[in-house]
Structure 1
Amino acid sequence: MTTTVTNNIETAHSLKQIPTVSIYGLPFSKMGMDETIATLTSAIDNRKTMHVITANPIMIMSALEDSSYYSMMRTAELIVPDGTGVVWAAGYVGQPVAERVPGFDILHRLMALGESRGWGVYLLGTDQQTIDQAAANLKQQYPGTRIVGVRNGYFGPEQDAEVVAEIQKAKPDILFVARSATTQEPWIARYKAELGVPVIMGVGGSFDIIAGKLKRAPKLFQKLRLEWFYRLLQEPYRYKRMLVLPKFVIKVVREKEKVTKARP
């Protein structure tokens, strides 16, 4: 018991030491991928719950427009710079992050590491056909990592207790969640304490790519920081959301001295 308490205190202390850059009051991790994975591994080893938000400029702008969404993001134990716009903004204000840390890559790194550590993973979200196919593909790619539960994301508040109970029973080490942009992170934030899962991360459209419904951007697009554009080509209906990106750039340029301050 004493060892467990000591480990939890050490883990909590290490989490406070995560280097961050404040972008409109939201603390983005400056850590690179390897450090991020090490931090998440420590959380799992010590059963320390971490809500990981893989954030982009669209989420930042949503938070600035919605105080409840902003407050929710502030409760996350780790916010990583998934969007290239976030990486650019951090560099522009003179506090660069180590690199872009995509949630899709975090998912695969953890799945790979789970093979040697025997981790259990629960997949929650999207439609049933997609989540089932994603689970099958992940099992084939990472046979040593246990898929301890699979459920689609089409449920309302009246079913939350049932879903939480299912996840608690499965006792996963990692929970990946893919729901709508407005539901995904708030749902995790609301129930993370009850769930008791060490690492909980929203993964957006990752299951669609893993299941083969969508293709991930080729390396060239990733290198040129145009992964968002490649996704837009596959899902043109997302164009309205993408219009937020130039607005974010203009806002950061105009408010350079205010970007690292608290939320206006």
Structure 2
Amino acid sequence: MSQTADSRSFPTVPIYGIPFSKMNMAETVAYLVRAVESRRTHRVVTGNPEMVMKSLQNPVFRQALATAELVVPDGTGVVWAARRAGQPVAERVAGYDLLHELMREGELRRWSVYLLGASQEVVDAAHARLAGLYPGIRFAGIRNGYFTDRDDDAVVAAIREAKPDLLFVARSMDNQEPWLAKHQAALGVPVMMGVGGSFDVLAGKTRRAPAIFIRLRLEWFYRLLREPTRIRRMMVLPKFALKVARDGDNLLQTK
């Protein structure tokens, strides 16, 4: 069952109604370790400006974000917006890094993991990479993300039967969060998280930005240099920045 902002056991900042966690990476990982131990379902959203802007236009998408047990500030734009509003988060908690932190914990604790998403070639390569990095992890299942609504029941049933501790889902932004929200109860996984393009990075299909770009908060610029076709998607970043600058403190109250 999803929590309301008032019932969360950690501090949040409501950026346009989306409750972003103020916890740092270590606190986030500790919280999710407890979530696995509790066996209650927890849905994790790795939020960024593009997702926030989409939530303002799409009620279904907005509900998926607002009802998640944990929304981490993945995008640097979210970190900037929280600071500008006078309610800073501890740090950026990147989804790719959180995935690895959870895998490290999982290896120590002998957790099981299910990978869902991307093409079969990519998810197989991501599995091979993770299995090499974390040999103590048991992989409960692996499935590509190319399925339709008609296949949902079968996909959910397979995951439920596998009983993983962690479920990582890599599908398109439009599909990933609403799908997890819709099937959260039926999946019954203690921690489920949308990881976007992380499988592509693990598989070596795309490269993550070098450390200097990440440190300078220019990871988006590196992606644009590598993939100029992303220019239309990247246009949401200046739109988000202008909206935050215009709205000021009102971004904390906007519903």
What TM-score range do you get, normalising by the shorter chain? over 0.9
Q: Which residue of 2 aligns with 1:135?
A: 127
Q: Which residue of 1 aligns with 2:156?
A: 164
Q: Distance in 2 between matches of 1:119 and 1:198?
A: 11
Match of 1:121 among 89, 113, 117: 113
User: Are 2:107 and 2:134, in contact at CA under 8 Å, matched by a contact in 1?
Assistant: yes
Task: Please list every run of 5 or more consecutive structure 2 residues that lacks an aligned counterpart in the other structure.
Answer: none
Q: Which residue of 2 aligns with 1:75?
A: 67
Which amino acid in 1 is paired with 2:45? Answer: I
Q: Which residue of 1 aligns with 2:42?
A: 50
With structure 1 as the length reference, what TM-score do the two structures score? 0.93
Following superposition, the deviation at residue 146 of structure 1 comes to 1.0
Q: Which residue of 1 aligns with 2:213?
A: 221
With structure 2 as the length reference, what TM-score do the two structures score? 0.96
Match of 1:39 among 28, 31, 48: 31
Which amino acid in 1 is paired with 2:146? Answer: Y
Query: In percent, how many aligned pairs have the same letter?
Result: 57
**Structure 2 matches for 1:191-206, cutoff 5 A?**
191-206=183-198
User: Tell me, what secondary structure is at the counterpart of 2:116?
Assistant: strand
Which amino acid in 2 is paired with 1:137? Answer: R
Structure 1 residue runs of 4 or more that deviate by more than 4 Å after TM superposition: none
Which amino acid in 1 is paired with 2:58? Answer: D
Q: Distance in 2 between matches of 1:204 and 1:230?
A: 17
**1:156-196 CA deviation, whole Å, 9 max, x = no partner?**
00000010011011110000000111000000000010000
Q: Distance in 2 between matches of 1:51 and 1:231?
A: 27
- Higher mean C-alpha deviation, range 60-69 or range 95-104: 60-69
Q: Distance in 1 between matches of 2:36 and 2:254?
A: 31
Structure 1 position 84 matched with structure 2 position 80: no
Q: Distance in 1 between matches of 2:199 and 2:177?
A: 16
- Higher mean C-alpha deviation, range 68-77 or range 146-155: 68-77
Which amino acid in 2 is paired with 1:173? Answer: D
Structure 1 position 231 matched with structure 2 position 254: no
Which amino acid in 1 is paired with 2:204? Answer: G
User: Tell me, what secondary structure is at the counterpart of 1:189?
Assistant: helix
Which amino acid in 2 is paired with 1:37? Answer: V
Which amino acid in 2 is paired with 1:253? Answer: A
User: Tell me, what secondary structure is at the counterpart of 2:233?
Assistant: helix
Q: Which residue of 2 aligns with 1:262?
A: 254
Q: Distance in 1 between matches of 2:75 and 2:107?
A: 28
Q: Distance in 2 between matches of 1:225 and 1:91?
A: 14
User: Tell me, what secondary structure is at the counterpart of 2:60?
Assistant: helix
Following superposition, the deviation at residue 15 of structure 1 comes to 6.5
User: Are 2:60 and 2:178, in contact at CA under 8 Å, matched by a contact in 1?
Assistant: no
Q: Distance in 1 between matches of 2:165 and 2:226?
A: 33
Following superposition, the deviation at residue 220 of structure 1 comes to 0.3
User: Tell me, what secondary structure is at the counterpart of 2:14?
Assistant: strand
Task: Give the aligned length.
Answer: 254
Task: Please list every run of 5 or more consecutive structure 1 residues that lacks an aligned counterpart in the other structure.
Answer: 1-7
Q: Distance in 2 between matches of 1:29 and 1:48?
A: 19
**1:111-156 CA deviation, whole Å, 9 max, x = no partner?**
1111110100000000000000100110000000111110000000
Q: Distance in 1 between matches of 2:9 and 2:120?
A: 40
Q: Distance in 2 between matches of 1:71 and 1:244?
A: 20
